[in-house]
Amino acid sequence: MSMEFKGVTFQSIEPLDKDLLARLPDDLKDFYQSSNGIIAFNGGLHIRSCVNTDSWNSLGRYWNGEKSLHRDYPNLLSSDIPFAQDCLGDQFFMRDDSIWLMSAETGEVMDLEVELDEFLELSIEDPVEFLAMEPLLHHMDSEGALPLGHLVHVVPALSLDLPEETAYHIDALPIDERMAWLKEFYLKEGKIS
């Protein structure tokens, strides 16, 4: 699987975790054997590394490790593979060979009805639209590049039904801090019924 990502700000050089790799579907295995994790589009897409560490970049950590997303978000199954996230921390995961998107603010999941290769192609063709990168572009215009290991933090939450003239504060937070904020918002206010 050969993909040409633009705006690459991180390319993992960590060795693949062979046990974790063996549990993945073939198309995800193929991707990881050519690239073990990447941040592309200046932070618009973060594909986690196939490692089982305590790192902000670890697939194992968010799939079934200490930060397992399915523990906090009941719409995620333990078998769902949260292999990537967008600039805000919304999660892309693989379920039955299809790529799904979960809003980390609401827990809502949506089948994108694409397989991994098409997901990557759509990301490359139009990352701003497909990956909803507007908050990242705003951050880059006002603050510059997104620091490594950070996500875009928007307050108030984008899922709230607020007046059109609402002023949003946009900055960068370390991934763990942004994910903790999203989890807290989801548990207190964001759960869909």
- Domain ranges, residue 49: 1-193
Mean per-residue pLDDT of the chain: 94
Quick: pLDDT tens for 131-182. 999 999 999 999 999 999 999 999 999 999 888 888 899 999 999 999 999 9
HSE (side-chain half, CA atoms, 13 Å) at 49? 18
Quick: pLDDT tens for 67-99. 999 999 999 999 999 999 999 999 999 999 999
Is the pLDDT confidence value at 2 over 50? no
Please give the full DSSP string across 72-129, using - where no structure is assigned: H-TTS-TT-EEEEEETTS-EEEEETTEEEEE-TTT--EEEEEE-HHHHHHHHHH-HHH
What length does the chain have?
Answer: 193
DSSP state at residue 132: T
Total number of domains in the chain: 1
Quick: pLDDT tens for 17-64. 999 999 999 999 999 999 999 999 999 999 999 999 999 999 999 999
Cis peptide before 156 (omega within 30 of 0): yes
DSSP state at residue 15: P
Distance CA 35, CA 49 (A): 8
